[in-house]
Structure 1
Amino acid sequence: MFRSGFASVVLAWACFSSGVSPASAAVLVPHRAVYDLELKDVSDRAGISGMYGRMVYEFNGSACEGYTVSFRFVTKVSTGEEERLTDQQTTTYEDVKTGNFRFLTRSYTDEKLDKEVRGSAHEAEKGIKVDLTSPDKREVELARGLFPTEHMLDVIERARKGERLFESRIFDGSDAGDKTLITTTLVGAEAKPAVGEGDAAKAGAMASKPFWPVTISYFNDETAGDAVPIYRMQFKLYENGITRDLTMDYGDFVLSGKLANLEIFKQEDCK
């Protein structure tokens, strides 16, 4: 499903382990964004006749205390013969300065818990060490990569520098929480919204601000050669981390996400 690593993560001014200096770090804002979802395209292989839903993404925290993300992705799926309600709920905490990350994801179908993945990860000498506590207790050692906040900071910083195509390895605790993913990011030229453009009016003070069109493709880390992405995300990214006009391509079906509501939170001072 939707990856927390994409999402519109937000931070205050700070110096981060991803190499962003205080002078160049992006000024991002804590916020709560709600997106209306609908089916944009579907293949016969998907076995889906309809899908719609809502996605809520909320970011809080500070450079001093670390950053928390609460994310919920609810869809109603129709197969033509039956309907089912899917509900994915994810909570993460990330301290970018110390390289620590905690994650908890619960997935429900028709209000019944299907899966819970819980664990923590930290930057180790040779890569990332993951301690999983659910569904099974085990340790996993992975190659070095970026956590979600680091990754989004890196995307914004590279976009500001005019870089258009780059690759990263990330760990976001998704799926079974035991592997990294390779991402390829394509950043388009900075643009301003056209008059009456889609969900731009829902972006409040950002409605007329310039944005970058961004596409991030996710690949299994162990895949070699000309691999097909397991998931692709397109969105319009503002310099402060707010996003809108989402397209989520899962291969057999594609969802669109339009910004329905945006609430900016007060940014706490880092003392």
Structure 2
Amino acid sequence: MLRMSLALFLVTGAGVASAAPLTADNAARLLVPHRAVYDLKLKNASDRSGIEGMFGRMVYEFTGSACTGFTTNFRLVTKINTGEDTRVSDQQTKTFEDLAAGKFHFETKSFTDEQLDKTVTGDASEGKDGVKVELGSAGGREVELPTSAFPTTHMLDIIEQAKQNKRIFETRVFDGSENGDQSLLTSTIIGKSETPEKGDADAAAAGDFAKAPYWPVTIAYFNDGATGDPTPVYNMSFKLYENGITRDLTMDYGDFSLTGSLVKLELLKKQQDPCPVVPQ
């Protein structure tokens, strides 16, 4: 599930789970390169959202390995109808996460009607006292943040919690979204394992993994400094397979929400330098 400003989507494909204990390293070694395509449509919108119609497409490409790091290329294009006019939003994001070194690089370009609105680039690294972010798009400005998980690490943590039958998981996440200068608190609810129902078209799009069991997962994101009973700035629900594939998305922004259906899943060729096997 990778939260990319307008949408969180951190999807990882993997092979069949092994009998080895699901440590973070073991889980990361299961991840395989892939490209997933999702069709988006408006689920609901409040009057104050100013949205009468919305649809789009999201493409997520994931490559790399546990020993060399993981690269994601993400693109989200939506067409929004306000009743008075329409506009096309196009967000393009590339990230690289080195799990072993605790480093994360991010680049995002946002366009409206083919005109560049904003560019955000930066590098983040884990330290003893938290996460240090250097924003290349802001003249090298540095930001110190509390200890936070990067996106792929966060997904691996969720998978591990699900495997251990733990239903609630809270942590702080940094993914470089928005202006790249803040992390968010997250609360994750993991449901019991389920099996796809017969005739589930979204499951069929998962190809070889169509009949695999999954966990229903919901993640709520909160800003720092919220008092009382805080309201999430964003919620995302999805079906998470044991192999890491994510489908059947619902992205709730408060004033409006979108659904995302998996329409194509392509497994990409693995790189030629696989990680050395670690004895169990």
TM-score, normalising length: structure 1 = 0.93
Answer yes or no: is 1:251 the counterpart of 2:254. yes
Distance across 1 between alignment mates of 2:223 and 2:25 = 33
Distance across 1 between alignment mates of 2:216 and 2:6 = 18
Count of residue pairs brought into register by the alignment: 266
DSSP 3-state at the match of 2:158? helix
Contact 2:28–2:65 under 8 Å retained in 1? no
How many percent identity over aligned positions? 56
Write the deviation string for residues 112-162 of structure 1: whole angstroms up to 9, x where unpaired.
000111000000120000000104430000100100011000000000000
1:254-265 to structure 2, matched below 5 A, reads 254-265=257-268
- Tell me which of 203, 206, 219 is aligned to 2:209: 206
Q: CA deviation at 1:31?
A: 1.0
Write the deviation string for residues 199-248 of structure 1: whole angstroms up to 9, x where unpaired.
11111011111000000011112223311000000000111211111000
Q: CA deviation at 1:266?
A: 2.8
- Tell me which of 116, 119, 129 is aligned to 1:116: 119
Distance across 1 between alignment mates of 2:170 and 2:231 = 15
Quickly say closer, same or farther: Cα 1:174–1:59, change in 2 above 3 A. same
Q: CA-atom RMSD, angstroms?
A: 2.0
For residue 47 of structure 1, what is the aligned residue in structure 2?
50
Quickly say closer, same or farther: Cα 1:24–1:263, change in 2 above 3 A. closer
Distance across 2 between alignment mates of 1:69 and 1:25 = 14
TM-score, normalising length: structure 2 = 0.90
Instruction: Tell me the amino acid that sits aligned with residue 218 of structure 1.
Output: Y
For residue 275 of structure 2, what is the aligned residue in structure 1?
270
Answer yes or no: is 1:56 the counterpart of 2:53. no
1:179-194 to structure 2, matched below 5 A, reads 179-194=182-197
Write the deviation string for residues 167-212 of structure 1: whole angstroms up to 9, x where unpaired.
1101100111011100100001100100001411111011111000
- Tell me which of 91, 96, 105 is aligned to 2:108: 105
For residue 218 of structure 2, what is the aligned residue in structure 1?
215
For residue 154 of structure 1, what is the aligned residue in structure 2?
157
Structure 2: segments with no counterpart, 5+ residues: 17-21
For residue 232 of structure 2, what is the aligned residue in structure 1?
229
Distance across 2 between alignment mates of 1:24 and 1:10 = 11
Contact 2:25–2:66 under 8 Å retained in 1? no
Distance across 2 between alignment mates of 1:26 and 1:98 = 16
